[in-house]
Structure 1
């Protein structure tokens, strides 16, 4: 079976490239040859700070969707991700319960958070700026994700891999997360690491 058109996700289980991503959280296959794999052992990581000092961190282990990063033609890049908020793990049950609770993520009423890209621009030899809508607790706000390749994308050859990391931050207040909570700063950081294969 051939791949779909470049702008469509590949759901072909017979695809040799996609079979190689069985340990991934998110996969996206293009006929032109890009496959993005997000590391399962990391998932989507968050960091909360207080006066700039990290005070809480953890990861969302259940993430689904598509990621396509094309440094040659950035307009073809796209991210569409959904995160199961109850999959949050910080390593401390008490902290997990607090963040998942009604005043913070309220996972009982809002089990899914999502990000959908709307515009992508290349901002440097190794970086993309991806603007889209982040939805948490039923509220949507514009957020910009910065994706940076760890080496020059121009040097990537067929069969090669290109590690990358992506990061963003958002305001807790914009999503009504912990309005009365003052033990962490308003800005929360998000980090994703993965590999682009060609």
Structure 2
């Protein structure tokens, strides 16, 4: 083993040890939810996604170093009505064959105090990515941390509900997204 190789190896290990590792948290799917509320002809209609995943590395003491990545299987969307649910995967709505997942990737996390955070990132749905800022409230109990919040997105910006469904008198452009993500492994807030 050359002296140069030993030096590079020991230097690399020292640098890795000096960089604090972020603990990886685990999502508890059975206790988590991602839902949405749209308005159809002025009437609120609630739905949710049955399948999603989260990769989270978050230290409450250093929120600026957080890394959050969510994936939502668009084919798991349901409004609870068989006929309507059959339309959601089609090209005019989520176009699941071409775009099977929506994603959110954090860019920054800012602490606001009292367990409140502001998470900015890119939300990609149906091939379109938009910058969003999401307010998040963290609460802790029984070794679990719950991240909850809501935000509004413009469905037409993501091409959700095209052609005749682009008429906002039928289906409003604003869609409220609500989430509750239960995680294990998060340090004390």
Higher Cα radius of gyration:
2
Q: TM-score, normalised by structure 1?
A: 0.70
> Aligned partners of 1:51 and 1:93: how far apart in 2?
19
Q: Secondary structure at the match of 2:84?
A: helix
Q: Which of 24, 27, 33 is the equivalent residue of 1:37?
A: 27
Deviations 1:14-67 (A, max 9, x none): xxxxxxxxxxxxxxxx1xxx7353443553212213587522x22222212302
CA shift for structure 1 position 140: 0.6
> Aligned partners of 2:32 and 2:79: how far apart in 1?
12
> Aligned partners of 1:46 and 1:175: how far apart in 2?
15
Question: Do 1:38 and 1:193's aligned partners in 2 also have CA atoms closer than 8 Å?
Answer: no
Structure 1 residues 93, 193: closer, same or farther in 2, change over 3 A? Answer: same
Q: Which runs of 4+ in 1 moved over 6 A?
A: none
Task: Report the equivalent of 1:46.
Answer: 36
Q: Secondary structure at the match of 2:123?
A: strand
Question: Do 1:134 and 1:143's aligned partners in 2 also have CA atoms closer than 8 Å?
Answer: yes
Structure 1 residues 96, 196: closer, same or farther in 2, change over 3 A? Answer: same
Task: Report the equivalent of 2:62.
Answer: 73
Q: Which of 118, 121, 128 is the equivalent residue of 2:117?
A: 128
Question: Do 2:118 and 2:134's aligned partners in 1 also have CA atoms closer than 8 Å?
Answer: yes
Question: Do 1:39 and 1:193's aligned partners in 2 also have CA atoms closer than 8 Å?
Answer: no
Structure 1 residues 143, 38: closer, same or farther in 2, change over 3 A? Answer: farther
Structure 1 gap ranges (5+): 8-29
Structure of higher RCO (CA pairs closer than 8 Å, 6+ residues apart): 2
Structure 2 gap ranges (5+): 1-19
Task: Report the equivalent of 1:88.
Answer: 77
Structure 1 residues 53, 127: closer, same or farther in 2, change over 3 A? Answer: farther
How many matched pairs? 162
Q: Secondary structure at the match of 1:107?
A: coil
2:182 maps to 1:190: no
2:74 maps to 1:59: no
RMSD: 2.5
Q: Secondary structure at the match of 1:108?
A: coil
> Aligned partners of 2:54 and 2:27: how far apart in 1?
11
More helix by share: 2
> Aligned partners of 1:93 and 1:164: how far apart in 2?
30
